[in-house]
Structure 1
Amino acid sequence: MVNGVQLEVSKSNLIALRYAKHATSGTHLDSATGLENSHTVIQAPSTLARRYMSSKSSPGLYTRLLIYSAFQVAFISFLLSYYNVQPLSYLSRRIRESQVWDHSVDALRDFLEPIKEIYDDVVDLIDVYDDDDDELTRNPRKSRKRREVKKESEVKKVAENSEKVDISKLPVLTREQLTLFDGSRPSKDVYLALLGRIYNVQKGSKYYAPGGSYHFFAGKDATRAFVTGDFSESGLTDDVRGLSEEDLLSIAEWSSFYEKNYELVGLLQGTYYDAKGKPTPRLQEVKKLTEKANEWKKAQAKENEIFPPCNSEWHKDSGRVWCSAKSGGVQRDWTGVPRKLFMPVSKTFRCACVRNFGAPLSEFPGSSFKKNRGDLDNPNVLEYENCHPSSISCQLVKT
């Protein structure tokens, strides 16, 4: 310890230091063993230091080695450049072909998954919808599995409570009257409508008032835009015809959100309520479609257990789909291989991880427990072009 700094000393340095110490104390050390030798003539510390330093390699040797290495690097670089060889591209291609990268990514994902689950559990203990950031904190939390279960029960509960509200006592506004509550008049609160139900969103005026990020929702019913993201004049409409089951469920979540966090202050005359505030046939139709969407979601969850969605990544001109033991958020004891899974009704397809060994998980004509091919023979399953049948990863080219 010198001036509070710990020094690490090699064996040769220790011997040299002991030389110096014993030279001043009247004893001498053998240069090979470092042991005391009282019969040897004592030498001055300066002589010992010169002997020790002379045993080290010459600085010129290091210089020659560096020059030789530099020439080697320059020569190899010249050869690579002359023959247009790109070692990094070659190594990258070989790694992709051998699927080492895929396994590394999957291993990293498997390592991070428990950490993410712990984080999600902590977040679930926090009230996401605080008074100041209702809208800003909502969307980033939408996809968490634990919150989905909680949200689904909340949507059902809020929907039941909304049915119990006596809407006959609520005022009915026309579209022209609702536009007066767009936040541009200091004397009036900010209103918006969703599926014909009008909410007072004044406490979130920093989002809905002019200049706010959600001002385009103020003073109108723009139900469709909540799920399409089309904020043009034609997109800000209450017409939900043609929306998918997933979109209808998202609208139900938004409806639950406003029922829970904002005051219901009226009804909008038009698509969903008449001039007397009574529900129109169109509203009943949307409710039935939402019920069917819930049934679809349950069936989809069951299908995902058999055909879990693939992992995917996309770039400008290409993409990749791959499977892992947790792809699609479905924990299982098999990985599967990427396949196109066609939907019989819509005739569209999605990427699914298909079990490629053992008995099939799905039921289809000609399925057999003896073939040891899993679900590969399902007629709705098709291989990706230019992808090896047993590969867990497929490179895709955008067309």
Structure 2
Amino acid sequence: MPSIFGQIEAVEKGIKACRTHIERIDRSLREKNLADNERLSFLDCQDRLRKQIKKHEKELTALQYENIKNELKDYGGSDPTKPIYLALKGVVFDVSTRREFYGKNAVYNRLVGRDSTNAVAKMSLHETDVSKAHDISDLSETQLKDLEQIFHQVYLAKYPIVGFMDYLLSVEEFAKQIKPQDEL
């Protein structure tokens, strides 16, 4: 069975192929003088393709959340033939372009193949922080702001997104979890 990430890629290609075919049908409908029965046949085909896209999109959503956590550990940089993935705030990034930082025995290797939200927010490589994964309950307001900045300016800006965990840590969720100053 192909990896979850491979399955996601295959479904995305299927969606793209359906959309391309719909565009070709649109062009044919505009450019050709078709008989009514031919036009209906083309429209029926378009309708079936649109239904197929909806089915693929549902399948894609299910795949993006299914078993990614378990599979993520296989992309921890130990196999030089595989990409290197790191999850942050529930978003899985391909950090393979920076193998010198994230690959086997590299300085940030401890962060890859898992969700490293807590460790990145604390700018820590300690196993206690890395093992907390996406638990942000112990982060200060400053650490949460730093996490948001790193997420946007480093990861979203530099690395492609390859999937999502079954949870996402949104700004709204951050706001709920920020402790009042007197509790820090």
Which range, TM-score by smaller chain? Answer: 0.5 to 0.7
As a proportion of its length, which structure holds more helix? 2
Q: Distance in 2 between matches of 1:253 and 1:170?
A: 29
Determine if contact 2:64/2:164 at 8 Å carries over to the other structure. Answer: yes
Residue 224 (1) aligns with residue 118 (2): yes
Q: What percent of counterpart residues are identical?
A: 25
As a proportion of its length, which structure holds more strand? 1
Q: Distance in 1 between matches of 2:183 and 2:129?
A: 27
Residue 346 (1) aligns with residue 182 (2): yes
Shift of 1:174: 2.8
Q: 1:194 aligns with which of 76, 81, 88?
A: 88
What are structure 1's unaligned runs of at least 5 residues? 1-166, 274-281, 297-344, 349-399
Shift of 1:168: 4.0
Q: 1:347 to 1:263 in 2, by over 3 A?
A: closer
Q: Distance in 2 between matches of 1:176 and 1:189?
A: 16
Q: Distance in 1 between matches of 2:79 and 2:95?
A: 14
Q: 2:141 aligns with which of 242, 245, 260?
A: 245
Q: Distance in 2 between matches of 1:200 and 1:169?
A: 20
Q: 1:168 to 1:346 in 2, by over 3 A?
A: same
Q: Distance in 2 between matches of 1:190 and 1:253?
A: 22
User: Structure 1: which amino acid aligns with 2:145?
Assistant: L
Q: 1:232 to 1:198 in 2, by over 3 A?
A: same
Shift of 1:262: 0.4
- Using structure 2 for the length normalisation, give the TM-score: 0.56
Q: 1:187 to 1:171 in 2, by over 3 A?
A: farther
Which entry has the higher C-alpha Rg, 1 or 2? 1
Alignment match, 2:107? 213
Aligned-pair Cα RMSD in Å? 3.0
Shift of 1:227: 2.8
Q: 1:170 to 1:287 in 2, by over 3 A?
A: farther
Q: Distance in 2 between matches of 1:179 and 1:228?
A: 21
Alignment match, 2:70? 176
Describe the superposition over 1:269-319 as per-residue Cα deviations: whole angstroms up to 9, x where unpaired: 3xx25xxxxxxxx657524348x79xx9xxxxxxxxxxxxxxxxxxxxxxx
* Secondary structure, counterpart of 2:128 in structure 1: coil
What are structure 2's unaligned runs of at least 5 residues? 1-59
Q: How many residues align?
A: 121
Higher relative CO (Cα under 8 Å, sequence separation at least 6) belongs to 2
